[in-house]
Amino acid sequence: MTLLGLLEREPSHGYDLKRDYDALFGRGKQLPFGQVYSTLARLARDGKVTGGDTEPGAGPDRKRYAITDLGASELRTWLTEPIEPEPHLQTVLFAKVVVALMLGRPADVYLDTQRAAHLRRMRQLTELKRSGSLLDALLADHGLFHLEADLRWIDVTSARLGALAEMVRAK
């Protein structure tokens, strides 16, 4: 869908699409050329983009792609629809705490270690945010807020461990 967004801006060659994608969304993980062309071929097959005329020269990059009305309509819908909020239930964190309590192992030690690991990652993301561009900062913030939510859960769980242990062992 991000490729459709780039094509809505202007018709482009595969190479330009890859370059713009990497600059805006790549964040150190580049999009392989093969994936660009396979996605474009699928979008063309579904009538969401047109391949246009092949320009002189060899290779797939000679095609200039443009978004169709169907593609533009799909993009419009995608941009306005909310994604499914993910509640992250049944996480590994939760499972580790419950199993530790069930077996009488020190869940508090695990939670403290996890807490330190989360904060270490938050320090890395904060550094990325401070040294990077506004796009880096936006992505780092997304990570930071999610890690912060985990940390709140860790704090609340730490405070409730005694009662939780009784409940888990009674089951």
Partner 1 sequence: MTSPDGPARTVVGSRLIEARDVYMSFGATRALAGASLRVGAGEIVAVMGPSGSGKSTLLHCLAGIFTPDKGEVWFDRRRVDQLTDAQRTELRRTAFGFVFQFGQLVPELTVADNIALPLLLNKEKRKAAYAKAAAWLPRLDLDGLGDRRTGELSGGQAQRVALARALIARPRVLFADEPTGSLDTLTGEMVMELLVGLARAEGATVLLVTHDARVAAYADREVLVRDGRVIDHADTSSLSVEVGG
Task: Please give the residue ranges that form the binding site for partner 1 (CB under 8 A).
Answer: 112-113, 115-116, 118-119, 122-123, 125-126, 130, 144-145, 147-148, 151, 155, 159
- What whole-number distance in Å separates Cα of residue 101 and Cα of residue 165? 5
d(CA 19, CA 112): 42
CB-CB neighbours of 66 under 10 Å: 14
Q: Which is nearer to partner 1, 66 or 147 (CB)?
A: 147
Confirm if 2 and 27 have CB atoms less than 8 A apart: no
Q: Which amino acid is residue 158, in one-letter code?
A: S
Between 44 and 147, name the residue whose CB sits nearer to partner 1. Answer: 147
Residue whose CB is less far from partner 1, 79 or 119? 119
Distances (CA, A) of 82 to 4, 78, 99: 18, 8, 35
- In the complex with partner 1, the residue whose CB is nearer, 2 or 126, is 126
* Greatest alpha-carbon span in the chain: 75
CA atoms within 13 A on the CB side of 65: 31
In the complex, minimum distance from the CB of residue 2 to partner 1, in angstroms, rounded to a whole number = 27
Least distance in angstroms from the C-beta of 91 to partner 1: 18
User: Please, what is the minimum distance in Å from the beta carbon of residue 103 to partner 1?
Assistant: 23
Closest approach of Cβ 116 to partner 1, in Å? 4
Please say which residue, 1 or 159, places its beta carbon nearer to partner 1. 159
Shortest separation between residue 105's beta carbon and partner 1, angstroms = 18
Structure-token pair, residue 138: 């936006």
